[in-house]
Amino acid sequence: MINPVGSSELQPLFVYDPDTHHKLSHEAESLPSVVISSQAAGNAVMMGAGYFNPLTGFMTVADAMGAAEKMTLTDGSFFPVPVLCLLKSTDEIGDAKRVALRDPNVEGNPVLAIMDIENIEEVSDEQMAIMTDKVYRTSDSEHPGVAAFNSQGQIALSGPIQVLNFSYFQIDFPDTFRTAVEIRNEIKERGWSKIVAFQTRNPMHLAHEELCHMAMDRLGCDGLVIHMLLGKLKPGDIPAPVRDAAIRKMVELYFPPNSAMVTGYGFDMLYAGPREAVLHAYFRQNMGATHFIIGRDHAGVGDYYGAFDAQTIFDDEVPAGALEIQIFKADHTAWSKKLNKVVMMCEAPDHEKEDFVLLSGTKVREMLGQGIAPPKEFSRPEVAQILIDYYQSIK
């Protein structure tokens, strides 16, 4: 199996030993504590689950700046984005060196992790601006990722953490949320050796389904991991339980047995386009995938990124040898009226735009909201029905 990034074995930060977990949970109740941001909570969950291997905790400002500017930490190791715990104030913890980090996304703010504070640093306006520009390629406050990053505060806590729970993800999505450790174990149990991962924050239409089949066939993969984001999205995106149901129905009906896993991870979407694509590849290697599909405008939002920026960044900016996982570069896929099948648009040079079945997201949402299924060339009818039921329920 492919090695994790930066080590021969995963080093998840979740405390699995029951006695140690109980002891730390008891200790946490007497420690100074602070409710952290949703983005920091997502970082803690990803470290706990092994996805951010081999990080041992939240970055210093120097490491975060290195990650932002050149994807390299001060010790020379590779990481594509800052992983920070930013606060507006340290009033609640004072000068404590060991603190409990509390979950902002669960009622009662339970303890998410214990942190040994090694540094408390002020992040300057200039440093925030540089990190924003490098990671998101824009400073526009209308960009949802920019807005979320810059709303957290400018005091950075850094140091190792011990993770005690996986926030709401394990409770709300017991059949879907999986740690990198669990996915690696299941890949071994299934006997897969070449695995391609597919990232999604949306339900999968026919073009997505066929793209996965194409990648598996062309790469000779024996397994597909559909890995959906379960954390916070932007307003208007379809909720995770609905996406989950739609994707599971598609896999059940249109994939051979033991060829696809439906899983999810706990993290808030950054909408950082190219840089987030690298992060996605990073943690897919940690979960055991050998290949990763990156299509047009991967992890993008609005018009902030070029259609294929998320592919070219691997050739132009990612340091050589930083990742073992291989990228399957895909174009937009759509149903060809000429060929009567789904194709990558770049592989149909004799086609005009009207030769494809193309529907905008707005048009699809309008149809579903009216109880109308998109054409079979666009969406599987069983998947469309799940989405129709959802849109009808929110009228």
CA of residue 80 relative to chain centroid, distance: 13
The confidence score (pLDDT) of residue 232 equals: 73
Q: Which of 98, 201, 248, 365 is catalytic?
A: 201
Interatomic CA distance for residues 82 and 198, integer angstroms:
23
Interatomic CA distance for residues 145 and 134, integer angstroms:
12
| Residue 309 near residue 342 (C-beta atoms within 8 A) | no
Range of 57-61, 365-369, 371-375 with top mean pLDDT: 57-61
The total of other beta-carbon atoms located within 10 Å of residue 227's CB is 24
Q: Over 90: is that where the pLDDT of 66 sits?
A: yes
To the nearest 10°, the Cα dihedral for 75, 81, 83, 88? Answer: 120
CA of residue 31 relative to chain centroid, distance: 31
Region 341-366: mean pLDDT is: 91
Q: What's the predicted TM-score (pTM) here? A: 0.94
Active site residue 340: no
Residues 6+ apart with CB under 8 A from 192: 221, 222, 223
Region 193-206: mean pLDDT is: 93
For the chain, strand residue ranges (E) read: 33-35, 57-58, 85-87, 98-102, 111-116, 119-122, 155-163, 195-200, 223-229, 260-265, 291-294, 326-329, 333-336, 341-344, 356-357
The confidence score (pLDDT) of residue 357 equals: 93
Q: What is the pLDDT of residues 297-334, one digit of tens each?
A: 999 999 999 999 999 999 999 999 999 999 999 999 99
Q: Over 90: is that where the pLDDT of 236 sits?
A: no
Q: Over 80: is that where the pLDDT of 395 sits?
A: no
| Residue 336 near residue 342 (C-beta atoms within 8 A) | yes
Q: Which of 343, 228, 217 is nearest to 291 (CA)?
A: 217
Q: Which of 299, 296, 294 is nearest to 275 (CA)?
A: 299
The total of other beta-carbon atoms located within 10 Å of residue 23's CB is 12
Residue 67 tokens read as 């990650």
Q: Which of 3, 98, 202, 365 is catalytic?
A: 202
| Residue 197 near residue 287 (C-beta atoms within 8 A) | yes
Active site residue 202: yes
Instruction: Please report the sign of the dihedral spanned by the C-alpha atoms of residue 129, residue 131, residue 132, residue 136.
Output: positive
